[in-house]
Every structure is written in C-alpha cells, then in structure tokens.
Structure 1
Amino acid sequence: MSTSALKQALLLLLGRLLCVEGLMFQLHPNNHKCLAENVHAKTLVTGEYEVSEVPNQVVHFQVIDQDSHVLANRQEAKGHGKFAFTTDKDTKFEICFVSSVQAGQSGLVHDITLTTKHGVEAKSYEGLADAAKLKPLEMQLKKLEDLSEAIVQDFAYMREREEQMRDTNESTSSRVMYFSLFGLCCLLGLATWQVLYLRRYFKAKKLIE
C-alpha cells in the first residue's frame, strides 16, 4: 500500500472513531438546563457553545463537578464561547445554562448549540505536529497511538467497575443469605415457643395430659 493510500485509510479510520456531534436545544426564559457527563481522571475537556442573543435577557454559563467545584464560568454568555479544563479525578461534570430576564419582561427562547470533546478528541495535534516537526502521517500515527491508549484505559476502567459490581453483588448476596437464616431461626424459635405455650395452656385447662 502506498503512503498516500495509507494516509487516506488512517484519516478515514480517525474520522469514524473521533467523530464529534454537536447538541442543539432551546432554553426558555427564566429557566435552566444542565447536561452531565462522566470522565476519567487527568482528562482534558474542551467545548464550544453558541447562544442566540435576545434583547433584555442574558444567559449564565457554568461548569461544575460533582464536588460543586466551578470548572468554567461566564456571567453573560453571548454569541460564541469556548471553555477548557482538566479533571483531577474520576468525576461527573455538569454544563449548565441559566436564562435570566429583566423584571416586567416576558422573555423569549434562546437557541443554544453545544459541542464538547474530551481525551484524545480534545488534543490539538496540529500544534503538537508544528512543535515536534512531525510529518502529517506521523501526526496521524500519534493520534492512533493516543486513541489506542484511551481505549485500553476505558477497558481497564470497565474491568475495574465490573469487579466492584461483582464484589457488591457478592456482598449483597451474603447479607441476604445471613438475613434469611436469621429470619428462619426467628420463625423456628417463635414456632417452638407457640407449641410450648399451647401445650402448657392445654395442660392447665386439663384438655391434654
């Protein structure tokens, strides 16, 4: 296979694997909408948004993690904007848009477009290629290498989660078994007490000897 054909094949493969889709939604006046996503530790997250401008009302933009740490913030998100941050640990972050309308105004709907990238997708390989003086094919190979590492990390994370879930299931099964045994012992003890009580009662009434 020639270098040109190999390059085209790599570009096609990367185009399929690294495809990023934008999200478009509407934000009603004096309302808010949040989008959540889980990411691994030490992951670069980048994003772009576009907010339609409406007179006499603003949109506040904020990104927070599960510990309520503010990762990005814009008091007045107008037009086109960008954000970027790197996570310190495995976490879930939320991207929130909040509409605010001046008192006495009915308000209009904002059209919002949001695109996010993380991991390999968020890296700027063009800048890396310029800094390291990499050829186009070498840059594509670097992308494939990073993508392979990301896939391996994802599988390792999935395996770790599977082990945690298995341990949780085994622990739950053990607790259910012990609880069932405890309940069975209680029922046997209650049944024995009832038999002894009734036997004593019937003997007291001289219904049995």
Structure 2
Amino acid sequence: MIRDSKGHILSQKDSITKGKFSFVTDTYDNFEVCFISRVPPERRGVSQDVTLDIKIGIEAKNYEGIGEAAKLKPVEMELKRLEDLSEAIVQDFTMMRKREEEMRDTNESTNNRVLFFSIFSMVCLLGLATWQVLYLRRYFKAKKLIE
C-alpha cells in the first residue's frame, strides 16, 4: 500500500509477489510504503527478501513503451529522453533557486531580529547600569559615606 501525507491511498495491491507499480502526483510530498508479509504456517522462520527500487521523475518514464506507441526510431527515442532530462534539470534549478531565495529571506529576517534584540539588550543593560549608579550614589549620600 502506498499512502501520501494526507492519508490518501495511491496504490493498493493484494497477493503480489513480483511486479512494477507506478503512480503519478502533481505535488511534492512524502509517501509511506507498507508491506505486509503473509507467510503460510509451514514456511514460518524462512527468511524473505523484499527489494524496493523507487524511481522518481525522469527515471520513472518507460521510453521503450513511449517509443513503440509513437513509432519512434531509437535515435528519436534517445532525443526524447535527453529532452525530458534537460527539462528536469531546468526544473530542478528553478526549484533550487526558489529554495535559495526562501533561505536568503529567512536568513535576512533572522539577522534583523538578532540585530534588534542585541540593540534592545544593550539599551536595557545601559539603563540598568545607570539606575544602579544613581541608586548607589543616593544610598551612600544618605548614609553619609560620600559627600
């Protein structure tokens, strides 16, 4: 069973021992893949191997099937694959640029907050130091320890 972060089930197959499964989403999300092993009583204790090969994006496309459906020559199919690969690279760079802008904005916001907090701290410390000096001066004058 394959489920997205909102709880929607994207794929669910029963009694599968081998095969390829695919699903398409328009959003970037986290997916949960769940395997349930139902072993007959006579095979309990025997080790089982589960292999999971996840392909995303351009890796997941079946270009042989696309080439056969569109009756493309092998060179045309390779060109189509390279075109899709270059488009995926451009999309990745666009996404990285957007994430870099978001991180830069977060960094600048954090720097401004730290600056204002440090200025506020300095003003508080200077105010407290001034108050302490004035208070001690009045106290010593009241006790007649200084003139």
Normalized against structure 2, the TM-score is what?
0.84
Once residues 127 and 91 of structure 2 are traced to their aligned partners in structure 1, the CA distance between those partners, rounded to angstroms, is 54
Once residues 99 and 76 of structure 2 are traced to their aligned partners in structure 1, the CA distance between those partners, rounded to angstroms, is 34
- The 1:194/1:124 distance shift into structure 2, 3 A limit, reads same
Residue 89 of structure 1 pairs with residue 34 of structure 2: no
The letter for the 2-side match of 1:203 is K
User: Which structure has the highest strand share of the two?
Assistant: 1
Normalized against structure 1, the TM-score is what?
0.61
- The 1:107/1:73 distance shift into structure 2, 3 A limit, reads farther
Structure of greater Rg? 2
- The 1:203/1:95 distance shift into structure 2, 3 A limit, reads same
Q: Which residue of 1 aligns with 2:5?
A: 66
Instruction: Give the number of equivalent residue pairs.
Output: 144
Residue 185 of structure 1 pairs with residue 123 of structure 2: yes
Residue 174 of structure 1 pairs with residue 139 of structure 2: no
Local SS of the residue matching 2:122: helix
Identical columns (%): 63
Q: Which runs of 5+ in 2 are unaligned?
A: none
Runs of 4+ in 1 over 4 A off after TM superposition: 98-102, 106-109
Range 126-135 or range 191-200, more displaced: 126-135
Q: Say whether the 8 Å CA contact 1:63–1:95 is kept in structure 2.
A: yes
The letter for the 1-side match of 2:55 is K
Q: Which has the higher contact order (CA 8 A, sep 6+)?
A: 1
Map 1:1-209 → 2, pairs under 5 A: 62-74=1-13, 76=14, 78-98=16-36, 109-209=47-147
- The 1:81/1:128 distance shift into structure 2, 3 A limit, reads closer
- The 1:99/1:176 distance shift into structure 2, 3 A limit, reads farther
Once residues 135 and 7 of structure 2 are traced to their aligned partners in structure 1, the CA distance between those partners, rounded to angstroms, is 61
Once residues 189 and 107 of structure 1 are traced to their aligned partners in structure 2, the CA distance between those partners, rounded to angstroms, is 74
Structure 1 vs Structure 2 CA RMSD: 2.3
